[in-house]
Chains A and B, each alone.
Chain A
Amino acid sequence: DAGVIQSPRHEVTEMGQEVTLRCKPISGHNSLFWYRQTMMRGLELLIYFNNNVPIDDSGMPEDRFSAKMPNASFSTLKIQPSEPRDSAVYFCASSLNQGANTEAFFGQGTRLTVV
């Protein structure tokens, strides 16, 4: 398997524009996580899904953020409208939630810059 695949790797956008980040989890994994990483706040869990269903979205900062997982092989994180303070690295991770096999595998991340 190619691992967790995120796109794009880098995104530069103007304030007010819509941004969509994409994630393809590892085939067979049933849990998916979206994290945001900044120098000030570290790694923050935004939302996670189990079997394509959002379980906990308490980390989503505002209504401007939304996430979907229409099927087991694809998820999106959308920011609309984007603001400069949304600039960060966004990670997607997936795992197979079976007992000791709880390791989360991370994608390469998307570095988002909002100017």
Chain B
Amino acid sequence: AQTVTQSQPEMSVQEAETVTLSCTYDTSESDYYLFWYKQPPSRQMILVIRQEAYKQQNATENRFSVNFQKAAKSFSLKISDSQLGDAAMYFCAYRADYGGATNKLIFGTGTLLAVQP
């Protein structure tokens, strides 16, 4: 069974600094997708960034980028120039790709990020 592990329950960063959130996963599949979701206090789940496993290039979205290490099954999120609005719970998620069949989206336990002014 696939699992997603986030080993950092809480992290803190100074405003304008850079922080990296860790995520590892376990799977026997070769084709899959990885995601980072953000959940602010409003509890709305917001997609931050997505990575297709077949792509070697790391995904980037403005101040957010990932370090995808397929062999190590690692998928970390880097937030540059941290802003107060980045404070939230961040979830790493995995979804296998079986060529069109539905597959469940599995989440890690989350990392609570605090941004200090």
Taking Cβ atoms with an 8 Å cutoff, the residues of A that contact B are: 30-31, 33, 35, 42-43, 45, 48-50, 55-56, 89, 91, 93, 95, 97-100, 102-106, 108-109
Contact B50 A103 (CB under 8 A): yes
Can you give 13 contacting A-B residue pairs, CB < 8 Å?
A: A30-B102, A42-B107, A43-B107, A49-B102, A50-B102, A93-B105, A99-B100, A100-B52, A102-B33, A102-B95, A103-B50, A108-B44, A109-B43
Question: What is the CA–CA distance of A93 and B107 in the complex, to the nearest angstrom?
Answer: 13
| A47 and chain B: residue at smallest CB distance | B104
Which of A33, A49, A50 meets B101, CB within 8 Å?
Answer: A50
Contact B102 A91 (CB under 8 A): no
- A5: min CB distance to chain B, Å: 13
Contact A102 B97 (CB under 8 A): yes
- Given A103-B35, A106-B44, A106-B45, check contact A97 B104 (CB 8 Å): no
- Is B106 interfacial (CB-CB < 8 Å)? yes
Question: What is the CA–CA distance of A21 and B104 in the complex, to the nearest angstrom?
Answer: 20
| A104 and chain B: residue at smallest CB distance | B105
Contact A45 B104 (CB under 8 A): yes
Range class of the B interface residue count: 20 to 34
Q: Which residues of B contact A98 (CB under 8 A)?
A: 100
Q: Which residues of B contact A100 (CB under 8 A)?
A: 33, 50, 52
Question: What is the CA–CA distance of A113 and B39 in the complex, to the nearest angstrom?
Answer: 20
| A4 and chain B: residue at smallest CB distance | B45
Which of A33, A49, A99, A108 meets B105, CB within 8 Å?
Answer: A33
| A37 and chain B: residue at smallest CB distance | B43
Q: Which residues of A contact B101 (CB under 8 A)?
A: 50, 97
Question: What is the CA–CA distance of A81 and B33 in the complex, to the nearest angstrom?
Answer: 37
Q: Which residues of B contact A30 (CB under 8 A)?
A: 102
